A and B are shown apart, each in its own frame.
Chain A
Amino acid sequence: DIHMTQSPSSLSPSVGDRITITCRASHSIGNYLNWYQQKPGKAPKLLIHSASSLQSGVPSRFSGSGSGLDFTLTISTLQPEDFATYYCQQSYTSPVTFGQGTTLEI
Chain B
Amino acid sequence: EVQLLESGGDLVQPGGSLRLSCAASGFTFSSYGMTWVRQAPGKGLEWVSSGSGVGTYYADSVKGRFTLSRDNSKNTLYLQMNSLRAADTAVYYCARVRSGYTYGPGDYWGQGTLVTVSS
Q: Which chain B positions have C-beta within 8 A of A34? A: 104-105
Chain B 102-119 residues near chain A, CB threshold 8 A:
102-107, 109-112
Assuming A43-B112, A44-B93, is B44 touching A49 (CB within 8 A)? Answer: no
* A96 with B44: CB separation less than 8 A: no
B74 CB, min distance to chain A CBs, angstroms: 22
Contact A49 B47 (CB under 8 A): no
Complex Cα distance, B46 from A87, in Å, reads 11
Which of A44, A49, A97, A101 makes the CB contact (< 8 A) with B109?
A44
Segment 28-68 of B: residues with Cβ below 8 Å from A = 35, 37, 44-47, 50, 57-60
- A65 CB within 8 Å of chain B: no
Q: Hey, which chain A residues are within 8 Å of B45, CB to CB?
A: 36, 38, 44, 87, 89, 98, 101
Having A89-B47, A96-B104, one finds 14 other A-B pairs with CB under 8 Å, namely A44-B93, A46-B105, A46-B106, A55-B107, A89-B45, A95-B57, A95-B58, A96-B35, A96-B50, A96-B57, A98-B44, A98-B45, A101-B44, A101-B45
